[in-house]
Every structure is written in C-alpha cells, then in structure tokens.
Structure 1
Amino acid sequence: MRSIKLLIEYDGTHFCGWQRQVEGRTVQEEIEKALEKVIKEPVKIHGAGRTDAGVHALGQTASFHANITVPVDKIPIALNSILPEDISILGASEVDESFHARYAAKGKKYIYQIYNSPLRSPLLRNYAYFVPQPLDIGKMQEAGQYFLGTHDFKGFMASGGSVQDSIRTLYKLDVYFHEKIIKIEVEGNGFLYNMVRIIAGTLVEVGKGKIDPKDIKQIIASGIRDLAGPTAPAQGLYLGEVIY
C-alpha cells in the first residue's frame, strides 16, 4: 500500500464542482474513475478543498492510498491518457502514509480574475467576471489591506456554510491590473464558504465607488453579510495553490 499526493489543474466550466455527487459531473469522480482503470480496483481520493461548480484550479491537491505499481513519475502520464481534456495531473509524489491532502494543508492561495472593459469578451466568459464599469484600482488595493490579519469573517461567508469558527487569518491580498484584466490574489490559513468570492464582490463595489475603502474595517467587525458586497461569479475564481 502506497500513499500518493497529486497536483491537479482543471477547467471547472463543465463540472458541478470538485466533490463527487449523486448526479452531475465532478472532478473527484473523473479522477477516481481514471485511477480505477490504472490500478484495477476502486480508489477514493481526498482533495485539499472543495471547489464549487464553475470554479477552476491551477494547483488543487489530492491524496490517496492504493496498491499501485506504476512508478510515481509515470502516474501523471498514465492518468492523463485516460482523463478528459479539462483535467490534468501536473505531478505526483509519494508521501508518508499519515498524509491527508485536506488535514495537512497549512493554507491556500486563491486568484480571482475580473475582465474590466466596456465590451464583453466571448473568450473570457467562462474564466473571468465581466465588469463593464470603470474600476478604481488604487481604491481596491487600499481596501484590500484592511482584510489582512486575523479577523472573524462571518460577514464574508455565504449561507450554507456549516463551520462553527469563522475566524481566519489572511497573509496576503494583492490587486493587480494588466491589459483589462484585474487579478485579486488572496492567501490565508483557511477560507469560509464563498469567502473569496464575497471579498472580490466587495472590492468591485469599492472600485465602483459604492463602498469607501476605509469602511472595510467596520464591515468586517460588524459580521453582517448584507454590509459586504455581492458574491462574485464562480467563473472568475481559481484555486491557485495549497500550502503545506
């Protein structure tokens, strides 16, 4: 029995999310089906986190235990020959048997992408949030700094989240702009349900001038969801990296 960690990239457009479901196409199910063909027995994989329908991943990780004889450096090649084109295994490594992709994670990095242009882009419709109004990048950058540190982010959690503890620490929040693309990069020790998308939606409201950057501190402290901005669409979100 070997313990393997996978590094995974996927286009979430045509998936119902990461986690296997009774109905609907999921990333977990596709990878488990491919592994079963390679190993010749059922395998359950554990992802570092769940991504919702339409959310993409540049660096998702998953782990599993199995009697696999394929050399570890050949596992990505073997799986990619079976997997659909919207999933790719970027790497595989052998890990200690106690390793669990979710519970061993120290943090995550997410990227949210906005297409800020008066005219929509058909090529980016599944990969960025289209915002036609001009956005003030400087104000968005200023507002982003108020999210840093340890806070109770319950006002930035969508209904449906089941966690008891909503305190999280953000180490980094940067806003970049290049050729109509705005990227929000967020790194922290953990994230609540839809937290990054709500932060992105709030920063868009700041960019539009509807929320003052200095009000972010008070909005976080209030814990009131309605004071924050809307939940930005799923297609702009990317799981960038899982930190161990």
Structure 2
Amino acid sequence: MRITRVLSGALLALGLAAGPAAADSTPSASPSEDGTGPTSAGTSFRTATEVEQGQTATASASTGDYLYWSFPADSGGRPTVKATVKLPDQHASQTWQVDVYDGLRRRQACQYGAQTRTAAEGTASVELTCVLRTVRAWSEPWANDPLPGTYYVRLTATGLKASDLGLPMNAELRVESKHIGGSAAVDGSLAEPLIPGVAVQSAAQDEDEDSSASAVLSSLEPDDGWASGWWSDRWVWSGIGAVLAALAGIGGYTLTRGSGRPRQVPPGA
C-alpha cells in the first residue's frame, strides 16, 4: 500500500509538470484576428515594413525593386518564411530569391526550402520558402547562430533582362514559427534581444543642457515579451528523471531492509 501511494503521488506530480509543457508547445506566432498584414514593403533595411508572425503581408512593386520586411523571432522558435511572387502575363525567364538577415544584418542560412527559384517565360507566379535554424537563447560571439531579435526579409529578382525591368509585380509574405522545445535549449541568454536602433540627439535647450533619445527601428515583439520561451520540456524530463531515481531508491530500500523482525534461532542450536 505504501508503494502504491508513492506511485500515485509520482504520477500526479508528472501530470502537473507536463501541463505547462503542453501549453508551451503552441507556435510563438501571434496573428491578428483576420490574418492580414501591411500592404507595402520597404526598400532598405532602415525602411523595412514590420510584419507580425502569422500575418500575410502584401506589396505591389516593379520588377527589379528590392523589397524588405522585418519580423520578431524569440528563442526556441524555428521561423519559416514563405514568399509568393505574382508575375505579369508577358515576361522572360526570371530568377527570384528570398534572403533572411538577423538584427546584426548577418545573412542567415536556410535549413531547408526553395530559397531561389526560376520562373520560366510566361509563368504566372513563383513560390519561395526559407526555413531558418532554431533561434537560440545564447551563442558564442564567433558563431553565426540565429539569436532572439528582429529579422529582415529581402525579396528580389536576379539576372533580369532589360525588357523585364520595371514590369509590375505583386508579392505576398508570410512568417510562421514552430516551437521546438527543450531539444534546442541552451544554458545562457542574451542581456538584450538583437533589435537595431539608432541614437538621435535632440536640440539642447541651452548651452549647459543636452538631452538625447533613442529611436528604435523595430517596435514589434512577442506578446509575452522577449525570452518568453524560458520554459521547455527539459524541465519535464528532469522531473521525470528525479522521480524515477526516487522510486528506484524507495524500491531498493524496500527490497533490502527485510521484514524487520529478529531472526529466530531454533532450539538446541
């Protein structure tokens, strides 16, 4: 009966520990109610249009333009960038490419996906996909690992013919993230997410007085703040290991302690 009570308590503790892990397994994206996003795109890193994960951003431009968007990504998530380019009826062969950069403007390699595709002559549209590596909470200074912060998406065509320059085109962009969990967790975290900003000096009111302000180039962040993925299933597996070790100790003690009664010596021994 004692072992049964211990096992029941252990199962209850595991159930309570697994509850938060199941709640944290949802994607980190926070789409709007209708899923629609901005209807324009920037032309440089500084003018990149902000888009939340789960939204669909659209833009109308000319072939040959550079289109830029930015989105936030937190630790533990694996962002997926999908871009669709709708081309005019008449055009020559075109090669389109989508690139992703982090807050330090370091180009991030795609783990998999069609990052570059060629649209044959007369093709109506072309779809591009870039699945990034899992965003890490911390990394070595020399590494190029994805870190929490702002990410930039650049969409453009390469190797265009002169006849295609300036033709109208429409682009759609959608960013989503999949929460990976404890398998990608690391020990350590950044002091601040990689959000680019620029210092702007305001006019001094007098000769002895000076004031300054900071203008941030990106204002989007996860709904529950940065570094929101502090909980991972590593906590659950650690708890399971501790409970199993405790049960093994209790079982070993029960088997080795005996009945607890003194040994009887037969008469005449």
TM-score (norm 1): 0.31
More helix by share: 1
